[in-house]
Amino acid sequence: NPTKTNQSAHLALDIGGTLIKMVYLSSDDNCSPDSQVKVSQEESNEISDGLMKCHTGKGTLHFLKFETSKIDDCLEFISSNQLCSHGDLPDKKQPSAHDRKLIKATGGGAFKFADLFMERLGITLDKVDEMDCLVAGANSLLKANNQEAFTYMNGHKEYLQIDHNDMYPYLLVNIGSGVSMIKVEGDEKFERVSGTSVGGGTFWGLGKLLTNCKSFDELLKLSHVGNNRVIDMLVGDIYGGLDYSKIGLSSTTIASSFGKAISENKELEDYKPEDMARSLLRMISNNIGQISYLNALRFGLKRIFFGGFFIRGHEFTMDTISVAVDFWSKGEAKAMFLRHEGFLGALGAYTSYQK
């Protein structure tokens, strides 16, 4: 019974526009926290991470996500697993009021849902700044974990050894519903230098309308088997199959995403959902890769770390971003990805208990 095993869990939340990310520590390694609410197999695979257990030395750190629109599942999970008891906080941070329950929370939902948490669970959300949390989460992962950062290009994944004494500066690109680009120069030294509203929410939102997919994963799977050349206008389509070699563009370079749709007498239903999904994923990943590179260039940063749940460890997404960064930087800058991609903010909120 999981309700018996998690009495001393520390819990932190990142309540985003699309997803709620939860990080909690359980003192019992054998607990199975997903028995009370519906958590897909795939998500339950993400729950436990032995590596973080080593890091904390206190128990197992669990990673979980819920759709923000299904916040009731999240509340139910916290309640049925007793994730917020008085033992939640480190000794020195015990709340002063006798019956007060405080949990660290970041993201816009920490404001939006503050009343709901209080009404339903008697929990006060102790708000922590979103950018602070993203950076703290990324820094602590890069320091704690040798198998955290990796490159992904042409189907080849390679883990990187990050030298803790030579980590900074870097550009952190968090691709959530929207995108934030943060120049990180030290532990708490950073600046949000840019962002774009064309992000994960755009992919999922437009993709849903174009393909009628019912879930994000379905859309990703579709994109895996599609052919974007059916709908994207390529350099070769304009140049009669030739490269535009004078400026270094091959015939297969996308000249205009979705551009072929205007030149053909076709309706939406004449295009296969998988081709549109692939074209959309390419368009958005390419665009983010390019804007990231431009910002790295602005500040002379060679390393770009990508996080956020848009990436989802999806090969085609990572490949497209890597190729974009490589192409525009002429091989000078590197795109790197993080294993705990979507949990940077939640982890940052969790580490803020120590402050």
**Based on CB atoms, which residue is closest to ligand ADP, 63 or 236?**
63
Asked if 324 contacts 189 with a C-beta cutoff of 8 angstroms, the reply is: no
* Rounded-to-integer distance, Cα 171 and Cα 183, Å: 5
* Residue 211 makes contact with ligand ADP by CB under 6 A: no
**Based on CB atoms, which residue is closest to ligand ADP, 67 or 191?**
67
Asked if 137 contacts 347 with a C-beta cutoff of 8 angstroms, the reply is: yes
Among 33, 107, 226, 236, binds ligand ADP (CB under 6 A): 107
Piece in contact with ligand ADP (CB under 6 A), picked from 17-25, 55-63, 73-81, 231-239: 17-25
Among 201, 226, 236, 273, binds ligand ADP (CB under 6 A): 201
Position closest to ligand ADP via CB: 16
**Based on CB atoms, which residue is closest to ligand ADP, 89 or 149?**
149
Piece in contact with ligand ADP (CB under 6 A), picked from 31-39, 163-171, 195-203, 260-268: 195-203
271: left (phi over 0), alpha (psi -120 to 50) or beta: beta
**Based on CB atoms, which residue is closest to ligand ADP, 18 or 351?**
18
Q: Is 123 helix (H, G, I), strand (E, B) or coil?
A: strand
* Rounded-to-integer distance, Cα 198 and Cα 217, Å: 19
* Residue 226 makes contact with ligand ADP by CB under 6 A: no
**Based on CB atoms, which residue is closest to ligand ADP, 66 or 271?**
66
> Distance of CA 281 to CAs 147, 252, 315, Å?
27, 17, 11
* Residue 308 makes contact with ligand ADP by CB under 6 A: yes
* Rounded-to-integer distance, Cα 110 and Cα 136, Å: 18
Among 9, 11, 16, 22, binds ligand ADP (CB under 6 A): 16
* Rounded-to-integer distance, Cα 204 and Cα 211, Å: 10
**Based on CB atoms, which residue is closest to ligand ADP, 122 or 205?**
205
Which helix H or strand E contains 135, and what residues bound it?
A: helix 130-144
Asked if 219 contacts 207 with a C-beta cutoff of 8 angstroms, the reply is: yes
* CB neighbour burial string for 198-214, b if at least 16 within 10 angstroms, e if fewer: bbbbbbbebbeebbebe
Of 171, 191, 134, the C-alpha closest to 291 is 171
* Residue 24 makes contact with ligand ADP by CB under 6 A: no
**Where does the chain show beta strands of DSSP type E?**
10-15, 19-26, 48-49, 60-67, 101-106, 123-127, 149-153, 156-159, 170-175, 179-184, 190-196, 233-234, 254-256, 303-307, 334-338
**Based on CB atoms, which residue is closest to ligand ADP, 60 or 180?**
180
Six token digits for residue 229? 């050349």
77: left (phi over 0), alpha (psi -120 to 50) or beta: alpha
Among 152, 216, 306, 337, binds ligand ADP (CB under 6 A): 216
Piece in contact with ligand ADP (CB under 6 A), picked from 11-19, 137-145, 181-189, 229-237: 11-19
**Based on CB atoms, which residue is closest to ligand ADP, 75 or 311?**
311
Among 63, 117, 170, 309, binds ligand ADP (CB under 6 A): 309
Among 33, 59, 342, 348, binds ligand ADP (CB under 6 A): 342
**Based on CB atoms, which residue is closest to ligand ADP, 96 or 197?**
197
* Residue 207 makes contact with ligand ADP by CB under 6 A: no
* Residue 320 makes contact with ligand ADP by CB under 6 A: no
Write out the binding residues for ligand ADP, residues 172-191 only, by CB under 6 A.
Answer: 176-177
Give residues in contact with ligand ADP (CB under 6 A): 16-19, 67, 107, 176-177, 200-201, 203-204, 216, 308-310, 312, 342
